[in-house]
Structure 1
Amino acid sequence: MQQASSVTFRFAAPHDAHAVRTIEFEAGQRFVSVGMAGIADALPMEVDLVNRKIAAQQIVVAVAAGETCVGFVMFEPQATRLYVQELDVLTAYAGQRIGAALIEQVAQLARAREMTQLTLSTFREVPWNAPYYRRLGFRDIEEAELDAALIERRDAHIARGLDESKRVFMRRDLA
């Protein structure tokens, strides 16, 4: 993993599970400001899930001074790509391009595995969601372009009660 300014990046370790859940919860609070209190009220991921993702090396953390986790990206392999499941950075560290650096960490992992793209699903209009990812080189995936894995992901979102009409799948091709 690499270093960017005073923040370093590494795979999450078992002792990071609590920090990952705390970061996720704090990041969710931002959704109150865009009228999405349901997201803010959601509980953080189950610790068992976080521990499984850590064991599988599918979470990269951003670490500031004193080994403080300030952000993370969680992903999973899907055939020829990595699917970005979640990206969160503590509000106190916003604006330092930590999220962009975490996405680049995942892009490097994908390239090392000879994968050709990153994909994700996010809210269309939330400023720190789809508009942010477009600035990082992602483009919208049209409905007709969704493959079986992404359709399955969309169906899982609907089953969880997410309004898919407000969401968009995106991809970033890797050189």
Structure 2
Amino acid sequence: MIIQVPALDELPALRAIERAAGEPFRALDMASVADDEPPSPEQLTEFQRAGRVLAAYEEPGPGREGRRPVGYLLWEPVDGCTHIEQVSVHPDRAHRRIGRALIDRAERDGGPVPLTLTTFTEVPWNAPYYARIGFRILPEAELTPGLRAIRAHEAALGLDRWPRTGMRREPGWSG
């Protein structure tokens, strides 16, 4: 598997991955999550230009030709941590460690600092999955100002209809 910053012309494929990755939420009566609009082309371009979007490719192909991303991750620095804004893998490629590979690469690219994210606590491929790969749920008292702001924004979007939490993984975790 190859993980790298995607080219600008590959960014539309990331939006398609996000739409497909949202579909399983329908089975959990979370249609509004499934229907949520992916990051805009402008947002993805900003992440790409900053080097903070990673795409996973299964087939190397000659150069970039013939390759299509199967997963992606967006990250940004928040309160001295590498905050995972979004990680999505196409459901056709689920259970192949693609998400973990993207997260591990973001950890390397972000530097020797903790990883953070916010997620749904009761969705099997969210908090329970992240706990298996070294993240721990942060008690309210441990949320940094940046994570509190992110959580407030999520609440304003209505995501708190379902239990959510902040999580953190210390640098160098290997499991």
Residues 72-117 of structure 1, C-alpha deviations (whole Å, 9 max, x = no match): 0111012421000111111111111111111110111123xxx420
Corresponding residue for residue 141 of structure 1: 138
Corresponding residue for residue 37 of structure 2: 43
- Measured at CA, do residues 164 and 149 of structure 1 come closer, stay the same or move farther in structure 2, by a change above 3 Å? farther
Which whole-Å CA distance do the structure 1 matches of 2:161 and 2:50 have between them? 28
Question: How many residue pairs get matched?
Answer: 166
Corresponding residue for residue 22 of structure 1: 16
Q: Normalising to structure 2: TM-score of the pair?
A: 0.90
Which whole-Å CA distance do the structure 2 matches of 1:83 and 1:91 have between them? 23
Residues 139-168 of structure 1, C-alpha deviations (whole Å, 9 max, x = no match): 000001111111111111112222176101
Which whole-Å CA distance do the structure 2 matches of 1:152 and 1:44 have between them? 20
Corresponding residue for residue 95 of structure 1: 95
Corresponding residue for residue 120 of structure 1: 117
**Any idea what SS the aligned residue of 1:43 has?**
coil
Which 4+ stretches in 1 moved above 6 angstroms?
A: none
Contact persistence 1:28–1:40 (CA under 8 A):
yes
Identity level (%): 36
Contact persistence 2:55–2:71 (CA under 8 A):
yes
- Does residue 84 in structure 1 map to residue 78 in structure 2? no
Contact persistence 2:22–2:33 (CA under 8 A):
yes
Instruction: Say which of 168, 172, 175 aligns to 2:169.
Output: 172
- Measured at CA, do residues 118 and 164 of structure 1 come closer, stay the same or move farther in structure 2, by a change above 3 Å? farther
- Where structure 1 has 5 or more consecutive residues not aligned to the other structure, the ranges are 1-6
Structure (1/2) with the larger strand percentage: 1
**Any idea what SS the aligned residue of 1:127 has?**
coil
